[in-house]
Amino acid sequence: MPHGNHDVLIIGGGVAGLVLALEVADRRPVTLLRPASDDLGASRWAQGGIAAVLSPSDDIDAHTQDTLVAGDGLCDEAAVRFTVEQGPAAIEWLLGLGVPFTRDTNPTADYPYHLTREGGHGARRIIHADDATGRAVMDTLKARVAAHPMIRVRDDLTAIGLLQDDDGRCRGARCLESTGARADLPAHDTVLATGGASGLYRHTTSPQPASGEGMLMAAELGATLMNLEFQQFHPTCLHDPEGAPFLISEAVRGEGGQLLNVHGERFMPAIDTRAELAPRDVVARAIDAEMQRTVSEHVFLDMRHLGEAAILEHFPTIHRHCATRGIDIARTPIPVVPAAHYSCGGVATDRHGATDIDHLYAVGEVACTGLHGANRMASNSLLECLVFARSCAAALRDATHAPLAIRSTVPAVAEAPPAALEGWRERMRALMSARVAIVRSDEGLNKAAEELAELYQEVREAVEHGQPGTRLTSLWQALRLARLTVASARARRESRGLHYNPDCQHHANHHPEPSRIHLGELD
């Protein structure tokens, strides 16, 4: 049943969705579809902070250059410069909303808020709220959204697909109520802010990340997906086989934390002159290699030399969490392992978040703006959420409205038994983790393609039965995105950034192109 007409419909309530809602709602009514729990998604779990040129001793060219280097030749330089230039104003906007960023108590500091460092950054430029920046930003934004009279928050619906009119324009979303009943939300403009695709993997840095559902919804309407082969693994997730995923922020290395192998030996200085502060692809690969060489399940991150007072001051959340898991980080090195963290690829967009489908926009991790190239630099992602949500809002504020006439492209799907759903998802995650992770090979990618094709046939039979269900829809979307990811990885005949395949020469191509793929290319 259609649920009335919605002017701007935003799907996803992390940082990108909330910022966009606040920036649009003074001019156009907004419906914001977000899960009832913040634990879903990645924003709340972001620890490190937001990168921006804030210190008088930093500059736009330096941040731009560092981002281009980390992106390994594949960034869109204009998108990088645009993002970096908009950064300081975006932080001012957050400060104006009252986000409690950590102040610098040093009387000689040249900026009132503490700026930390992370991998790839040549300067201190990460503004943060202790080691729980995502939580602080989310709490502030959510309070503002809740108080805004023109934003209607719906946490009782799950989007399972997008609606399209006869001219191919996006016209809202098809949703399911918790009872399983269908609810169409027609909208003049629809924005995906649904997060990335780290949930395609078994070990992740946040407990319940997205699995590319939004990317696939856009692809179902014909949108271009870009750079899917570049999946980032954060080098340091707590190794805690019995516990929930927990990130150990890169800021720990930024403040001097050192990586040790299981024999207590430091290994990064021999690999890269930037040592522990090399870009993430370099550090994650080095840890992976060291774990294999020493036949161990983790390495250690040692911060004991920083002293207990500094650890408690800068990293209270990490200290508290590790203590609950029996690790006193002031006295013991932390066991860490790389885990899936961020999708550099996604729905191709322009500077305003516009996709190549009329009236469909994408912001945040679901989008591929060209900022990250082949490897995202730390803390550039919250920056991207802020900057692109604000520029998307600027475009939407003045957009003209067309009458709504909808046809749905969402096929009806059947819910399968929970055990089958769990089994299929586990198979997909296991093979993605084994064959499409930090190091790939031609043989591994070929096997992944075959195994995913088999799984696809099995799941398709369940999908073709007819009744919609959110869990099967999500798996069906994730599975097709996994196939597109493998296809993109097989097509890239070089090693670059996060896509490392020893069967392909490193940087064979001096004029690399982003990869582009459409759902229609799946056989």
CA separation for the pair 226, 219 (Å, rounded): 11
Interstrand relation of 170-177 and 157-164 (parallel, antiparallel or unpaired):
antiparallel
CA separation for the pair 364, 138 (Å, rounded): 14
Q: Which stretch, 45-53, 67-75, 194-202, 515-523, contacts ligand SIN (CB under 6 A)?
A: 45-53
Strand partners, 495: 506
Smallest gap from Cβ 340 to ligand SIN, in A, equals 12
Catalytic center residues: 280
Interstrand relation of 151-154 and 30-33 (parallel, antiparallel or unpaired):
parallel
CA separation for the pair 283, 443 (Å, rounded): 25
Judged by CB under 6 A, does residue 48 bind ligand SIN?
yes
> 521: which DSSP letter?
G
- Residues that bind ligand SIN (rule: CB under 6 A) add up to a total of 10
CA separation for the pair 210, 206 (Å, rounded): 10
List the alpha helices (DSSP H) in 300-344. Answer: 308-314, 316-324
Q: Which stretch, 4-12, 80-88, 242-250, 426-434, contacts ligand SIN (CB under 6 A)?
A: 242-250
CA separation for the pair 414, 468 (Å, rounded): 5
Choice between 21 and 252, CB closer to ligand SIN:
252
CA separation for the pair 372, 82 (Å, rounded): 13
**130 in helix, strand or coil?**
coil
CA separation for the pair 17, 142 (Å, rounded): 10
Contacts of ligand SIN in 443-482 (CB under 6 A):
none
Smallest gap from Cβ 232 to ligand SIN, in A, equals 8
Contact between 362 and 382 (Cβ < 8 Å): no
Q: Which of 31, 206, 211, 249 lies at the binding interface for ligand SIN (CB under 6 A)?
A: 249
Q: How far is CA 400 from CA 165, 296, 358, in A?
A: 16, 58, 12
Smallest gap from Cβ 343 to ligand SIN, in A, equals 12
Judged by CB under 6 A, does residue 231 bind ligand SIN?
no
Choice between 235 and 370, CB closer to ligand SIN:
235
Choice between 186 and 254, CB closer to ligand SIN:
254
Contact between 425 and 478 (Cβ < 8 Å): yes
Judged by CB under 6 A, does residue 194 bind ligand SIN?
no
Judged by CB under 6 A, does residue 250 bind ligand SIN?
yes
Q: Which of 15, 99, 378, 478 lies at the binding interface for ligand SIN (CB under 6 A)?
A: 378
Choice between 278 and 475, CB closer to ligand SIN:
278
Q: Which of 379, 433, 488, 495 lies at the binding interface for ligand SIN (CB under 6 A)?
A: 379
Q: Which of 9, 18, 24, 251 lies at the binding interface for ligand SIN (CB under 6 A)?
A: 251
Contacts of ligand SIN in 411-430 (CB under 6 A):
none
Q: Which of 43, 47, 343, 375 lies at the binding interface for ligand SIN (CB under 6 A)?
A: 47
Q: Name the site residues for ligand SIN (rule: CB under 6 A).
A: 46-48, 247, 249-251, 378-379, 381
